[in-house]
Amino acid sequence: MLSVLSKSYGKDLYLITLKNDQIVVNITNLGCTVTAIYTPDSNGVMKNIVAGFSDLAFYEQNDAYFGCVVGRYANRIAGGKFTLAGQPVQLSVNDGTNHLHGGFEGFHKKTWSVVTEIREENQVGVVMEYLSKDGEEGYPGNLLVQVRYTLDNACKLSIRYTGHTDKPTPVNLTNHSYFNLSGFEQALITGHLLKINASHYTGKNNHNVPDGSVIEVRGTALDFQQAKRIGDDIDQFPDDKGFDHNYVLNSEGEITEAAVLYEPVTGRELRVFTDQPGMQLYTANWWYGGLYPRHGAVALETQAFPDSPNHPSFPCTILHPGEVYEKHTIYEFGVRSLKSSYETIL
């Protein structure tokens, strides 16, 4: 059985619950945010597997980007600068010398409009919309974006992004959910097994932005082509304090399996599919105290490459008037027998 429930928290704030017979997904229009995903383990015990706040009011800040949609441009742009149609553009700088995740007041801090709730035989969902005005955080053009979340009976949470602009502008949207498939019974995700469908990653400089190189993962700590524990090599990047790298996915622009995450104690599994060219692996390296410890969850951010407007060799992220920005990511949730080996599973 599929269902969608809405609860109002004031004039413009809502919590929408999508349910099937196996999982429950909570979404708020504050930041277009996934606040909780409850899935069963191998014994049928339901736990929330994404990091978040218990009170919706806390999402007004959400500096850790729990579960939200980030934009206009996910990840970093060096110096907040790029050239567009021969003209310099200066964005806000909110991450050292960089522009990060849309700036100081990015999409994650906006109250989105709930356009419609979807109630169909095979899926339920919600469509949310936000108009980013010309000049917001320095971006050119009025950008109208919609995000469509749907949940089906196969336990697939689909996220479709669309956008239209009246001036050329860079666009790169992603969902920033952090996962701990133990339901946070295990404090760290170092024991999770991860496989990434990528043979290369984008090299970066000491400002954590791409240097233009594309490097083979084989023989490095970044090689997840075969499943391995996240904790096996997490200490190989002392400056980053863990993994914080953009993978060049082995895809041709079609929906492709990007990653598989598996927690061997509970048997919970997550498969990520996307038509995006990249995926950022981030292991919550800067969490200290507060709700969760460092490495308490992992983000698998499907995206365009960081700093693409400054690298002509990277896939283009500039949206022009008359074009439609269209991207699609699917999270598929499952559970496996604990008797199965992870080599077989992954």
Q: Which residues pair with 144 in a beta bridge?
A: 131, 164
CA-based nearest residue to 150, from 268, 6, 49, 4? 4
Helix, strand, coil % in the chain, rounded to nearest 5:
10, 45, 45
SS (H, E, C) 222-257: CCCCCCEEHHHCHHHCCCCCCCEEEEEECCCCCCEE
Q: Please, are residues 251 and 275 in contact by the beta-carbon 8 Å criterion?
A: yes
Residues catalogued as catalytic: 176, 301
Q: Please, are residues 276 and 252 in contact by the beta-carbon 8 Å criterion?
A: no
Neighbours of 294 (CB within 10 A): 15
Give the dihedral sign, CA 130/275/224/210.
Answer: negative
**Burial class of residue 133 in the structure, from the number of CB atoms within 10 Å of its CB (0-12 exposed, 13-18 middle, 19+ buried):** exposed
